[in-house]
Amino acid sequence: MRAIVMREFGGPEVLQLEDVNDPEPGRGQILLDVRLAGVNYADVHVRGNTYLAPVELPYIPGNEVVGVTPNGKRVVALTQGGGYAEKVAVHRMLNWEIPDDVSDEQAVPLALQGNSAWHLLFTVAQITKGEKVVIPAAAGGVGSLAVQLANRAGATVIALASTPEKRELALELGAAAAVDSSDEEGLAERIRDAAGGDVQAALEMTGGPTLHETLNALAPRGRLAVYGFASGRLTDVPIHTLLEKSITVSGFWLPRLYADRNLPLKASMKSLFDAVGNGSLKMVHGGTYPLADAAKAHNSLNSRTGTGKFSLDTTK
């Protein structure tokens, strides 16, 4: 089969198309014929050797796919690597049949980015109707879904985005206000101005000064859900601020839910499928590239000029 193989860490150029052996499904796994492979910022961390879980080279990246099972069912699945390929082995508990009213392109963001947005909002930040919530990278894969999900739940969304075009998209998706996040200095003040005061909850994935600014915009007893450090800058959280304002900061990494029977992904997937099917959750597509052009997809993701979901068509 054809697959994108990394034999070293580095820039997008390390993503090379090769012919490799088909994967052998392990216990509890099935083999999928892949149609689309999702491209995520986590893949950028893997490529640069900064991912939360270290990988061994050679390595096939990719953590979410749309594919077909041996008995012909169309499914969306979570993988732990191996997605940038024509075939991938997935666990039987981490793939979900796609309803007829949801297309492949609509389904591919749901397993990883959709579940991440859903659980960040409702499991970690525990937003409720009437609360004000900050959502970063609001025109991106997770962000564009989180804006819509929070708005559907009755929250007031303060979206963060770096360009006028991205801020306009966030407003179209349901944000009450959109704030320029391109300049970290004064971000907390801009958030409060847009929200008309402090906010009750915030998602954060940039790190560095942006994390501190977002923290400073939270009201007493506010909640901060941290799910990344896209800037590459890790930072300490000021304990004094947490104590003074009784703020809760929680980290989130979706793979920690893969085997958690108390927080089944099946329930969040049903909610996401239903929302797409009834038209209340819109997919923002950043572009679909042939499998061989994985490096081009990563360049587009790195440039931060695109919006929504990037994917690879493994049939081309």
Residue 73 gets which letter from DSSP? -
Q: Pairing state of beta strands 29-39 and 64-68?
A: antiparallel
Can you name the residues that pair with 175 across neighbouring β-strands?
Answer: none
Tokens of 223: 């909640």
Peptide bond into 58 cis (omega under 30): yes
What tens digit of pLDDT does each residue of 78-130 get? 999 999 999 999 999 999 999 999 999 999 999 999 999 999 999 999 999 99
What tens digit of pLDDT does each residue of 173-183 get? 999 999 999 99
Q: How far apart are CA 57 and CA 52, in angstroms?
A: 16
Contact predicate 202/225, CB 8 Å? yes
Mean pLDDT rounded to a whole number for the chain: 95
Using the predicted structure, report yes or no on whether residue 56 has a pLDDT greater than 70: yes
Per-residue pLDDT at 76: 98
Per-residue pLDDT at 52: 82
Tokens of 314: 């493994």
Q: What is the DSSP string of 248-273?
A: EEEE--GGGGTT-TTS-HHHHHHHHH
What tens digit of pLDDT does each residue of 256-292 get? 999 887 777 999 999 999 999 999 999 998 899 999 9
∠ CA 32-35-40, rounded to 5°: 100
Q: H or E segment at 157?
A: strand 156-161
3-state helix, strand, coil in the chain (%, to 5): 35, 30, 40
Per-residue pLDDT at 305: 67
SS3 204: strand
Pick the range with the lowest mean pLDDT from 44-58, 123-137, 143-157, 209-223.
Answer: 44-58
- Token match 């006028």: residue? 164
Contact predicate 97/76, CB 8 Å? no
What tens digit of pLDDT does each residue of 288-316 get? 999 999 999 999 887 776 677 899 999 98
Per-residue pLDDT at 53: 83
Q: How far apart are CA 175 and CA 166, in angstroms?
A: 12
What tens digit of pLDDT does each residue of 131-147 get? 999 999 999 999 999 99
Measured between alpha carbons, how far is residue 155 from residues 135, 145, 178, 180 in Å?
A: 11, 14, 14, 20
Tokens of 146: 């989180």
| Domains and their CATH numbers in the chain | 2-109+283-313 (3.90.180.10), 114-255 (3.40.50.720)
